[in-house]
Amino acid sequence: MFITFEGIDCCGKSTQVRLLAEQLEQSGREVLRLREPGNTRLSEHIREILLDKEFSEMNERTELLLFAASRAQLVGEVILPALDHDKVVICDRFYDSTVAYQGYGRQLPLEDITHINRIATQDLVPDMTFFIDITPELAFERCKDRLAADRDRMEESGVRFYERVINGYKSLAQQDGGRFYVIDGSKSPTDVHMTIWRLVMEKLPLLSSYVGGDGLVMNRSLEAMEVDTVGL
Q: Does domain 2-214 have CATH number 3.40.50.300?
A: yes
Percent of the chain's residues with pLDDT above 90:
72
User: Domain spans of the chain?
Assistant: 2-214
Q: At residue 148, does pLDDT exceed 60? A: no
Q: Is the pLDDT of residue 214 over 80?
A: no
Mind listing the pLDDT tens digit for each residue in 16-25? Answer: 999 999 999 9
Question: What's the confidence (pLDDT) of residue 25?
Answer: 95
Is pTM, for the whole model, over 0.75?
A: yes
Residues 163-191: tens digit of each pLDDT: 999 999 999 999 987 899 999 999 999 99
Nearest C-alpha neighbor of 231 from the set 131, 130, 146, 138: 146
pLDDT at 53: 82
List pLDDT tens digits, range 31-44: 999 999 999 999 99
CA angle 133/135/139 to nearest 5° reads: 95
